[in-house]
Amino acid sequence: MTLITDVTSRNAQTEAPLITPLVERWSPRAYDPTAEVDPAVIRTILEAARWAPSANNTQPWRFIVARRGSDAFTTVHDAMAGFNKAWADSAAVLIVNVAEIIDTEGEARPWARYDLGQAVAHLTVQAQHEGLHTHQLGGFDAARLHAEFDLDARFEVVSITAIGVLGDLDTLPDVLREREVAPRLRKPLEELVLAGE
């Protein structure tokens, strides 16, 4: 069994000082398949999403919360593609992130996906603060989940967030184990600022 014993080895190498959850957040694939997340903690991380800002305070985010062992978890896991299927079954919770892209009057909500992403970002930072790890996924069959959960046409399934506790690297296929310890890279800050100082 191989655990990442020095978790600081995954910390962001920042060009300016950041708050601790942002330094420590990263997206693992090796989760402990026995670890549970207290329902109160799940509530707390969803509360973080609830308090995200959104266009005109429309709050166009919805979530399907699937705990490992539930039918919903199996449904979400079954919709995953390729390598995601190989690791995400060990997460304690899978949250399907859904955007309300059309309001109840039939009007488009052009900022819905942006707002959802921001709510998920808040959720991941709160989860990190709670001692959990998160890994967002785009590699899955969104249309399948839309149908399986019988969602209204106004909703779009956008992404999934896997949440859990760090686990054994040796449970991963070789290619994923290599990615799990590969250096974490980012573009330099200078490249991101298009104008101004």
Interface residues with ligand FMN (CB under 6 A) are: 26-27, 84, 136-139, 159, 184
Question: Whole-angstrom Cα distance, residue 75 to residue 157?
Answer: 14
Nearer to ligand FMN, 17 or 82 (CB): 82
What's the closest the beta carbon of residue 128 comes to ligand FMN, in angstroms? 11
Q: Which residues contact 197 (CB under 8 A, 6 or more apart)?
A: none
What's the closest the beta carbon of residue 25 comes to ligand FMN, in angstroms? 7
What's the closest the beta carbon of residue 107 comes to ligand FMN, in angstroms? 25
Q: Which residue is nearest to ligand FMN (CB)?
A: 139
Nearer to ligand FMN, 3 or 81 (CB): 81
The closest of 131, 59, 129, 119 to 95, measured between CA atoms, is: 119
Nearer to ligand FMN, 16 or 195 (CB): 16
Structure tokens, 111: 């900022």
What's the closest the beta carbon of residue 172 comes to ligand FMN, in angstroms? 11
Nearer to ligand FMN, 192 or 195 (CB): 192
Beta bridge partners of 100: 155
Question: Whole-angstrom Cα distance, residue 57 to residue 70?
Answer: 33
Question: Whole-angstrom Cα distance, residue 7 to residue 24?
Answer: 8
What's the closest the beta carbon of residue 153 comes to ligand FMN, in angstroms? 22
Nearer to ligand FMN, 112 or 137 (CB): 137
Question: Whole-angstrom Cα distance, residue 93 to residue 60?
Answer: 22
